[in-house]
Amino acid sequence: MGVVPINCRIRSGFLGEHCLPQCVAVIVDRTWYNLRIGPPQIGSLDSRYNRATTIPKLTRSQDMGLRRPSIQTDASRPDRPLTVSVVIPSLNQAKYLEAAILSVVSQDYPNKECIVIDGGSSDGSVEIVRRHQDRLAHWTSEPDQGQAHAIRKGLSRSGGEVLTWLNSDDVLMPGAVGFVAEVFGAYPEIAWLTARNATMDPAGRLAEIGPPLGRFRWLIRRGGYHGRTIGGFIQQEGTFWRRELWEHAHGGLQDEKALALDFDLWRRFAAHADLVTADSILAAFRYHAGQKTDSIDRYYAELPGQVVKPPEWIRPIVRMGRSVLATLTWPLVPRVVYDRALRQWRFKPGPFFRSGIR
């Protein structure tokens, strides 16, 4: 696929991952940089590296003793780059819809599809969509049965090998689609991919960036990542998956899940494949008044079992525990990391990774 030019904050530890014992080095390394520097980002520049960085093709970690597979997308068309399809469901979100659309269609990766499924908005959303219709693969505006139905409808019209949806008040980071296509193209054993959690304020400025939390498949299946544990959320915006995994999960979005539909989908995905986490930022969730997730109690009411709301005083402890958990478990989870010495992104499967879709 050649090189993928993306702007990126890059950093590597002062101990490095080749020191012995390796696990201790990585733990100290990540703790140091989480405190001092912060996470790498696709789509922005670090003040210490005030330049765009050209990222070569991904390679496997050489210390794993594994061969880097050839880059191909499918057996019948091995030289065709992967197509990434992004569906934007929307209803009366004219204030933010254009930013969401532009964050997709302005990506510098050519093999992408942006599909907008509007639920019959009356706030000027249709006029915004029409302004950009030449850059959309498909769009429609008509009443539907809710967000889950809109997403299923959009994905059924998509032609990409890699899929996701983006809520109309959120955005993708610049360079995210090309990065995702590179990862999935280089590593056919990766079935779904996420990244660091990130949020922004109503004006679109980055507000919070989470630690590099790896997720374990068995804990996803048991519903362990819902935000009120030290495991945190699996952020929907910025999570991508192969079409085959979507089909294995039978298009698993349930209409009765108005808020927790992604939580349910992740559990279905985890029944078939391990989640890989990239140590970067692929998208950002926008906080603003009146959004659906303001009704957080209704979100937790849709989860299986009873999720107890912790008291306010314990929230700082949970955040601290989340950082500690990230530091301790990161060497154990499947992850895509940037190697500063090699100037390459590398996939590190970790000791428990099982490849492919099962």
Interatomic CA distance for residues 5 and 21, integer angstroms: 34
Amino acid identity at 315: R
Per-residue pLDDT of the chain (358 residues; tens, 9 = 90+): 333 333 333 333 333 333 334 444 444 444 444 443 444 445 443 332 233 333 334 444 433 322 233 333 344 344 679 999 999 999 999 999 999 999 999 999 999 999 999 999 999 999 999 999 999 999 999 999 888 999 999 999 999 999 999 999 999 999 999 999 999 999 999 999 999 999 999 999 999 998 888 788 888 887 666 555 555 678 999 999 999 999 998 766 867 656 667 888 988 899 899 999 999 999 999 988 876 555 666 655 555 655 445 566 666 766 676 677 777 888 999 999 999 999 999 999 999 999 999 8
Could you state, in order of their start, the residue ranges of all structural domains in the chain? 4-69+80-348
Interatomic CA distance for residues 206 and 245, integer angstroms: 31
Interatomic CA distance for residues 56 and 49, integer angstroms: 17
- Rounded to 5 degrees, φ, ψ at 100 are -65, -45
Determine what percent of the chain falls in helix, strand and coil, rounding each to the nearest 5.
Answer: 30, 20, 50
| pLDDT per residue as tens digits for the range 58-82 | 444 433 322 233 333 344 344 679 9
- The architecture CATH gives domain 4-69+80-348: Alpha-Beta Complex (3.90)
Interatomic CA distance for residues 132 and 138, integer angstroms: 11
pLDDT at position 253, please?
82
DSSP string, 134-168: GG-SEEEE---S-HHHHHHHHHHT---SEEEE--T
pLDDT at position 311, please?
62
| pLDDT per residue as tens digits for the range 197-230 | 999 999 999 999 988 887 888 888 876 665 555 5
pLDDT at position 224, please?
66
Interatomic CA distance for residues 72 and 123, integer angstroms: 44
pLDDT at position 11, please?
33
